[in-house]
Amino acid sequence: MIYEINETHDPSLKSWVESANDPNTDFPIQNLPFCMFWPGQQSESPRLGMAIGDQIFDLYTAISSGLFGADFDEIAQEMELCDLSFLTEVYGPEVLADIRRAAFDVLREGAPDDLVRDAKKCLVAAKGIDPELPFEIGDYTDFYCSIYHATNVGSMFRPDDPLLPNYKYVPIGYHGRASSILVSGTDIKRPHGQNRSDAEAPPVFIPCKNLDYEMEVGFFVGGGNEQGTAIPIEEAEQHIFGLCLVNDWSARDVQAWEYQPLGPFLAKNFATTISPFVVTMEALAPFRTQAFERDAGDPEPLEYLADEENEKLGGIDINLEVFIQTQKMRDENIAPHLLSKSNMKDLYWTIAQMLTHHASNGCNLQTGDLIATGTISGKHKGERGSMLELSWRGTEPIELPNGETRRFLEDGDEIIMKGYCEREGFRRIGFGECRGRILPAD
Ligand code: MN
């Protein structure tokens, strides 16, 4: 079941929060993504919130003060404990949809004066707060669903046969590590690892030389499945809570040496950064699009991965941008430089197919699990979602506006990822930022 367009998507709707009506904001009233945030230094636990314009709407205060009315009395009693994981697990994802709808009614232009007066007390400037991870993430899986990325990387190693024979049948993935997932804005220390760039000599244990980013989108599981049961593709979207941006930091030199035969390990699990806001599937409804159009010679998906609605609307049109700002650029006051643009609709597999495939052997997914798409690259050169591809394994250095060049990331480099949806007849919505800066190795 994919959300239908409803009155919350009406592009003419405005909020009394002025900054939410700025045409360039990521967070108009049509978006209202969830987050967890630290309201101040005296606070002992993060709070449930929601982005609106340049403000965070403190849902903890709103619900516990009764702003949303008697329907939320039971939750208000337990608000002390309430985070996204708790609410989704205990009350079900539907309750978050109800909270979002209640916030929508209070934040919209024309809401009753007394509600507006009380709601104003729940707003805090987004600039002044620290975000927290939106969910308690129990497990993290990363897929490999961009055929352009897979073809680029494959052709560096196997020019004649870049795509492995399983690619068009199996959504390829690996189990990542949840403990090292970080929220946007956290610094990343350059990892150590085994490097065997000299094929004639034994490997050496040194700071990573070929540090990279990967532009990805992730989705959170909202409501899992019992171990031993599968999730039919027709029901997959009901288990998907919402989306965020993901940077799957990658140590390419470590990866090249360690990956055979079991795939990525220490090259990936030192850090993964995500954006703090979870854009809901309801907010994304206007931007749904058809699944990847397979070439005439490609196999059809196997039956458990095939569904008519998924084929028609399983894709999502999200514009993705990656920027870099080096230490020197910061010193010289040069704005971040755009490295690439790509789009999530170019993925070979949809998020419903990823989720269904993941659970197809009876593997139990759980609320708060993060499932990422893999690097999202497009067909063209400017659409490559990693530095490995942009610099073609370091052989074609990238030129920056101040004359610096990059093959891979240097200490002091900051990577900033952005995502937004635009469609004629609808309000633009965005994801905010996913940023991280590289610190030197120990
Ligand atoms: Mn990845």
Question: Which pLDDT score, from 0 to 100, does residue 60 have?
Answer: 93
Q: Based on the domain organization, do 316 and 213 belong to the same domain?
A: yes
Q: Based on the domain organization, do 108 and 178 belong to the same domain?
A: no
Q: Based on the domain organization, do 226 and 81 belong to the same domain?
A: no
Residue 389 pLDDT exceeds 90: yes
The mean per-residue pLDDT over the stretch 143-168 comes to 94
Q: Based on the domain organization, do 125 and 188 belong to the same domain?
A: no
pLDDT level of residue 154 (50, 70, 90 thresholds): very high
Residue 137 pLDDT exceeds 80: yes
Q: Which of 97, 131, 165 is the last residue of a domain?
A: 131
Residue 41 pLDDT exceeds 80: no
The tally of domains found in the chain comes to: 2
pLDDT level of residue 296 (50, 70, 90 thresholds): very high
Say if residues 281 and 98 touch (Cβ distance below 8 Å).
no
pTM for the predicted model, two decimal places: 0.98
Question: Which pLDDT score, from 0 to 100, does residue 413 have?
Answer: 99
pLDDT digits (tens, 9 = 90+) for 332-384: 999 999 999 999 999 999 999 999 999 999 999 999 999 999 999 999 999 99
pLDDT digits (tens, 9 = 90+) for 92-129: 999 999 999 999 999 999 999 999 999 999 999 999 88
Q: Coil, strand or helix: which one is 372?
A: strand
Q: Largest Cα–Cα distance of the chain, in whole Å? A: 76
- One-character DSSP codes across 35-84: EEEE--TT-SS-EEEEEETTEEEEHHHHHHTTTT-GGGHHHHHTGGG--H
Q: Based on the domain organization, do 297 and 184 belong to the same domain?
A: yes
The closest of 400, 418, 286, 409 to 343, measured between CA atoms, is 418
Residue 81 pLDDT exceeds 80: no
Cα of 348 from ligand 1 centre, angstroms: 15
Residue 42 pLDDT exceeds 80: no
Residue 157 pLDDT exceeds 90: no
Give CA–CA dist 407/393, Å, rounded. Answer: 7
Catalytic annotation, pick one of 149, 239, 337, 358: 149
| Exposure string over 227-251, b if 16+ CB within 10 A, otherwise e | eeebbebeebbbbbbbbbbbbbbbb
The mean per-residue pLDDT over the stretch 408-434 comes to 98
Q: Which amino acid is at 341?
A: K
Residue 40 pLDDT exceeds 80: no
Give CA–CA dist 245/241, Å, rounded. Answer: 14
Instruction: Respond yes or no: is residue 149 known to be catalytic.
Output: yes
Q: Based on the domain organization, do 323 and 409 belong to the same domain?
A: yes
Element (H, E) at 328: helix 327-331
Of the chain, the percentage scoring pLDDT greater than 90 comes to 93
Cα of 86 from ligand 1 centre, angstroms: 28
Of the chain, the percentage scoring pLDDT greater than 70 comes to 100
pLDDT level of residue 78 (50, 70, 90 thresholds): confident
Cα of 78 from ligand 1 centre, angstroms: 37
Cα of 23 from ligand 1 centre, angstroms: 32
Q: Based on the domain organization, do 329 and 223 belong to the same domain?
A: yes
DSSP annotation of 95 reads H
The mean per-residue pLDDT over the stretch 157-176 comes to 94
Q: Based on the domain organization, do 109 and 169 belong to the same domain?
A: no
Q: Based on the domain organization, do 116 and 146 belong to the same domain?
A: no
Q: Based on the domain organization, do 359 and 298 belong to the same domain?
A: yes
List the domain range (segments joined by +) for residue 386.
140-439
Cα of 30 from ligand 1 centre, angstroms: 30
pLDDT level of residue 437 (50, 70, 90 thresholds): very high
Give CA–CA dist 3/313, Å, rounded. Answer: 10
Q: Which amino acid is at 94?
A: E
pLDDT digits (tens, 9 = 90+) for 170-180: 999 999 999 99
Q: Which of 74, 108, 131 is the last residue of a domain?
A: 131
Give CA–CA dist 107/57, Å, rounded. Answer: 9
